Amino acid sequence: MEKATPDSVRLDKWLWAARFFKTRSLAAQAIDAGKVRVSGERVKKARMVSAGEELSVRGGPYERVIVVRSLSEARGAAPVAATLYEETAASREARERIAAMNKAMGQAVIKGRPTKQQRRDIDKFRGR
């Protein structure tokens, strides 16, 4: 017997099922913080979302604009979750452009204390 797909699903539950967030509570926190919008408007986590609606999900430096294609209340495998939505072409291009800029700028990730060699390079740069 097949499960019937619902007509609408809670927004936090759908975001979790579509694998935008690892837990429903993280999805709910993002919605409350205003990082998720439906048709450009802030919403509550209990808002019912249906197929065809446009969502914008902000995470880090990227903002994804997606269209809901199908609904699910259960979290499934990643290939199944990818079929629940479709990212708009403009959103994909903007995300790739930001990624290319970050890569070109060479965002240095400094982790912890500099090594001895790095400290010597810093001293040489400062003229000591």
Distance set, CA 17 to CA 21, 71, 80, 87, 120 (Å): 8, 9, 10, 16, 50
* pLDDT at position 112: 83
* pLDDT at position 1: 43
User: 26-78: per-residue pLDDT in tens?
Assistant: 999 999 999 999 999 999 999 999 999 999 999 888 899 999 999 998 999 99
CA-CA distance, 103 to 108, in Å (whole number)? 10
Residue 21, domain member (yes or no): yes
Residue 4, domain member (yes or no): no
Residue 114, domain member (yes or no): yes
Residue 3, domain member (yes or no): no
The model's confidence at residue 107, banded by pLDDT at 50, 70 and 90, is low
User: What's the pTM value of the predicted model, to 2 decimals?
Assistant: 0.76
Residue 1, domain member (yes or no): no
Residue 20, domain member (yes or no): yes
Which residues contact residue 112 at a Cβ distance below 8 angstroms, ignoring those fewer than 6 apart?
none
Q: Identify the CATH number of the domain in which residue 102 sits.
A: 3.10.290.10
Q: Domain total for the chain?
A: 1
Are the C-beta atoms of residues 67 and 49 closer than 8 Å to each other? Answer: no
| Domain membership of residue 36 as a residue range | 9-126
Question: Does residue 108 carry a pLDDT above 70?
Answer: no
Residue 100, domain member (yes or no): yes
Reduced to 3 states (helix: H, G, I; strand: E, B; else coil), residue 106 is coil
Residue 2, domain member (yes or no): no
Which has the closest alpha carbon to 83: 35, 57, 51?
51
